[in-house]
């Protein structure tokens, strides 16, 4: 008997695609019993695990619209090279994550993993040991904060004797973790697609930071080889394009429907 | 073999032992491992003396990198590196100087001229593909690609491709035969807890390469250091590599 798992990948604002996929999964009446998430996948997956029947697009659209000014004003700082330069030597991040905490508090409150309707697993990265961390218990807000803590952008989150950073560092899409939690059929939502292969770098620093992304391909392939259904989205949006949440949701949903039609599956 | 300069002595010790005990080695290399593989294919088991002479040549810019490449734990080096890279320079060192030096040393010889069975692997940034270099590639072009290790050198533009060593992504090359023995010093490097954003990004980058290394070598026999060496650039690292491979060789 199939025990369905859902593995949701990292990718910032492109995580709107996960929302579209979950809607279609619910419409197909697939009973997801395990959900795992990394970074953006943790944000969406945790809410889905708590409230499987919620109207996710309405929830996330409302939260993002309400907070879009503070989100955009913070991420705008990432482009200010002059003010960011000293932070690379004297600090541990370009931004502080208080505004992220406030947003997550709205979504998860003080809910725990034990209150989830679907078994939930979240991945993060421990800066001290350099290891991937699998989180299946405790307060959900802590795990989601840890998992979506982009290195350099936000400071490491001290929790449980570790310094947590983004789960996408070592596990961009936790398919094997979903299997470890009991799923024998894993649906994977992969946000790693990059449409732009132009080689254009402003300077050596830009080059150094950009080419590290190439390390994700091997990790992605390693996870996806054990997935049973894979959804990829040829999106051109960057991970900080939160203003485009709705467009990403609509576009990716149409990609999923096209893929299902090609495979002769009714959505 | 891949890695960067940290494993220069240690991995050379391992290779010298193997070269003395096994006549027909097929070697898969990337980055500094390619430099080692190149000299092995030119001089056989006595490669290391010639390789050291090459590094220590008066005008060899690689010598400077080895003596000053420590960015981690060195705030001054980090600051100067950031200033140089952030102000439009693509790398800390000038690739043209390296190319001129390599041209003087290797001339127009190609990989076809090499005696041993050595594979040189690189990564092309535009196509995102791992490439095993063709035997018609010149030694100079091969080394320019294999030493295009950021932030020291930028990618190397060659036949419309943008090349870096594949071991930047995974510590070792990504394609090798199923009975390969993996030699890696870098997989055992120890990064202390980062103190600032630069160190966080460097450690994260290393962790990702290490994860890819672990994925690639899951089912392979690995020769790695047993202890963290405090000094990479002297003969003690070379002999530690030799004793590590000897231990494996005697028990196999």
Q: pLDDT (tens digit, 9 = 90+) per residue, A188-230?
A: 999 998 765 667 787 777 788 788 889 999 999 999 999 999 9
Q: Do A88 and B208 touch (CB under 8 A)?
A: no
Other beta carbons within 10 Å of A61: 16
Q: How confident is the model at residue B69 (pLDDT cuts 50, 70, 90)?
A: low
Residues in chain B closer than 8 A to A87 (CB atoms): 197
| Contact call for residues B108 and B228 (beta carbons, < 8 A) | no
Assess whether pLDDT exceeds 80 at residue B74: no
Residues in chain B closer than 8 A to A205 (CB atoms): 82, 85-86, 151
CA distance A78 to chain B (A): 13
Residues in chain A closer than 8 A to B82 (CB atoms): 85, 88-89, 205
Average pLDDT for B62-78: 70
| Contact call for residues A158 and A165 (beta carbons, < 8 A) | no
- The more confidently predicted of residues A212 and B211 is B211
- Burial label for B27, CB within 10 Å (0-12, 13-18, 19+), is buried
* CATH code for position A228: 3.40.1090.10
Q: Do B168 and A211 touch (CB under 8 A)?
A: yes
Q: How confident is the model at residue B143 (pLDDT cuts 50, 70, 90)?
A: very high
**What is the C-alpha separation between A71 and B205, in angstroms, rounded?**
26
**pLDDT value at residue B79:** 66
Q: Do A88 and B155 touch (CB under 8 A)?
A: no
- Tell me which of A68-82, B1-15, B237-251 is least confident: A68-82
Q: Do B91 and A204 touch (CB under 8 A)?
A: yes
**pLDDT value at residue B163:** 97
Number of independent structural domains in chain A:
1
**pLDDT value at residue B73:** 58
Out of B85, B150, B194, name the one closest to residue A127 (CB). B194
**pLDDT value at residue B68:** 66
Closest-CA residue in chain B for A91? B196
Residues in chain B closer than 8 A to A85 (CB atoms): 82, 86
pLDDT, mean over chain B: 91
List the single best residue of A152, A218, A223 to mutate versus B (max B Cβ within 10 A). Answer: A218
**What is the C-alpha separation between A266 and A262, in angstroms, rounded?**
10
CA distance A52 to chain B (A): 33
Catalytic residue IDs of A: 39, 166
For strand A32-38 and strand A119-126, is the pairing parallel, antiparallel, or unpaired?
Answer: parallel
Residues in chain B closer than 8 A to A94 (CB atoms): 197
Residues in chain B closer than 8 A to A211 (CB atoms): 125, 150, 155, 164, 168
Q: Do A203 and B87 touch (CB under 8 A)?
A: yes
Residue range(s) defining the domain that contains residue A186 = 4-263
Assess whether pLDDT exceeds 80 at residue B4: yes
Closest-CA residue in chain B for A221? B215
Assess whether pLDDT exceeds 60 at residue A245: yes
- Tell me which of A172-181, B61-70, B109-118, B239-248 is least confident: B61-70
Q: Do B126 and A212 touch (CB under 8 A)?
A: no
| Contact call for residues A36 and A45 (beta carbons, < 8 A) | yes
Q: Do B212 and A87 touch (CB under 8 A)?
A: no
Q: Do A125 and B151 touch (CB under 8 A)?
A: no
Q: Do A169 and B128 touch (CB under 8 A)?
A: no
- The more confidently predicted of residues B44 and B229 is B44
Closest-CA residue in chain B for A130? B207
Q: Do B154 and A207 touch (CB under 8 A)?
A: yes
Q: Where are the alpha helices (DSSP H) in chain A?
A: 16-27, 40-50, 56-76, 81-90, 98-108, 140-147, 175-180, 204-211, 216-224, 245-262
**What is the C-alpha separation between B83 and B87, in angstroms, rounded?**
6
Q: Which of A171, A130, A129 is nearest to A147 (CA)?
A: A171
Average pLDDT for B191-201: 88
Q: Which residue has the tokens 């491709």?
A: B161
Q: Do B200 and A204 touch (CB under 8 A)?
A: no
CA distance B16 to chain A (A): 31
| Contact call for residues B182 and B30 (beta carbons, < 8 A) | no
**Coil, strand, or helix at residue B211?**
helix
**What is the C-alpha separation between A142 and B24, in angstroms, rounded?**
55
**pLDDT value at residue A197:** 65
**Coil, strand, or helix at residue B212?**
helix
Q: Which of B3, B173, B35, B167 is nearest to B101 (CA)?
A: B35
pLDDT one-digit tens code per residue, A151-176: 999 999 999 999 999 999 999 999 99
Percent of chain B with pLDDT over 90: 72
**What is the C-alpha separation between B155 and B123, in angstroms, rounded?**
10
pLDDT one-digit tens code per residue, A66-92: 999 999 988 887 776 656 677 778 888
Assess whether pLDDT exceeds 70 at residue B70: no
Out of A125, A151, A217, name the one closest to residue B201 (CB). A151
User: Taking an 8 Å Cβ-Cβ cutoff, which residues of chain A contact chain B?
Assistant: 81, 85, 87-94, 125, 127-128, 130, 132, 151-152, 156, 163, 165, 169-170, 197-199, 201-205, 207-209, 211-212, 214-219, 222
Q: Which of B2, B23, B75, B153 is nearest to A88 (CA)?
A: B75
Residues in chain A closer than 8 A to B209 (CB atoms): 215
Out of B154, B204, B205, name the one closest to residue A204 (CB). B154
Assess whether pLDDT exceeds 70 at residue B116: yes
């Amino acid at each position: 008997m199939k025990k369905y798992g859902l593995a949701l990948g990292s990718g910032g604002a492109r995580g709107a695609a996960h929302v579209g996929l979950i809607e279609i999964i619910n419409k197909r009446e697939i009973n997801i019993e395990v959900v795992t998430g990394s970074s953006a996948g943790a944000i969406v997956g945790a809410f889905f695990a708590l409230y499987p029947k919620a109207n996710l697009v309405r929830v996330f659209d409302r939260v993002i619209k309400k907070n879009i000014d503070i989100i955009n004003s913070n991420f705008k700082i990432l482009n200010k090279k002059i003010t960011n330069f000293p932070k690379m030597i004297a600090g541990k991040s370009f931004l502080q994550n208080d505004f992220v905490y406030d947003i997550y508090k709205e979504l998860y409150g003080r809910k725990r993993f034990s209150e989830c309707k679907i078994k939930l697993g979240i991945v993060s990265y421990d800066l001290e040991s350099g290891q991937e961390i699998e989180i299946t218990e405790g307060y959900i807000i802590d795990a989601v904060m840890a998992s979506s803590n982009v290195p350099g952008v936000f400071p490491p989150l001290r929790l449980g004797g570790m310094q947590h950073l983004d789960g996408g560092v070592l596990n961009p899409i936790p398919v094997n973790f979903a299997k470890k939690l009991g799923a024998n059929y894993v649906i994977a939502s992969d946000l790693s697609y990059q449409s732009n292969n132009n080689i254009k770098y402003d300077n050596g620093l830009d080059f150094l930071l950009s080419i590290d992304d190439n390390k994700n391909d091997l990790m992605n392939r390693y996870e996806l080889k054990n997935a049973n259904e894979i959804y990829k989205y040829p999106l051109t949006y960057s991970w900080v394009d939160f203003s485009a949440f709705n467009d990403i949701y609509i576009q990716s949903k149409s990609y999923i429907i096209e893929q299902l039609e090609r495979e002769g599956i009714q959505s | 073999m891949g890695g960067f300069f940290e494993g220069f002595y240690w991995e050379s010790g391992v290779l010298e032992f193997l070269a003395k005990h096994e006549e027909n080695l097929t070697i898969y290399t990337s980055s500094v491992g390619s430099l080692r593989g190149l000299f092995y294919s030119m001089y056989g088991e006595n490669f290391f003396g010639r390789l050291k002479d090459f590094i220590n040549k008066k005008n060899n810019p690689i010598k400077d990198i080895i003596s000053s490449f420590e960015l981690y734990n060195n705030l001054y080096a980090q600051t100067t590196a950031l200033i140089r890279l952030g102000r439009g320079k693509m790398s800390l060192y000038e690739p043209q100087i390296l190319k001129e030096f390599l041209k003087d040393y290797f001339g127009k010889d190609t990989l076809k001229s090499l005696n041993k069975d050595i594979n040189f692997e690189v990564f092309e940034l535009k196509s995102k593909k791992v490439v095993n270099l063709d035997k018609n590639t010149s030694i100079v072009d091969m080394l320019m690609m294999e030493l295009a290790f950021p932030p020291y050198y930028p990618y190397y533009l060659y036949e419309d491709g943008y090349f870096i060593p594949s071991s930047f992504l995974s510590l070792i090359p990504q394609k090798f035969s199923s009975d390969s023995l993996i030699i890696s010093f870098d997989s055992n490097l120890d990064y202390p807890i980062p103190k600032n954003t630069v160190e966080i990004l460097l450690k994260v980058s290393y962790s990702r390469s290490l994860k890819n290394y672990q994925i690639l070598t899951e089912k392979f026999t690995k020769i790695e250091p047993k202890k963290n060496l405090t000094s990479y650039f002297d003969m003690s690292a070379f002999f530690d590599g030799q004793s590590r491979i000897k231990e494996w060789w005697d028990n196999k």
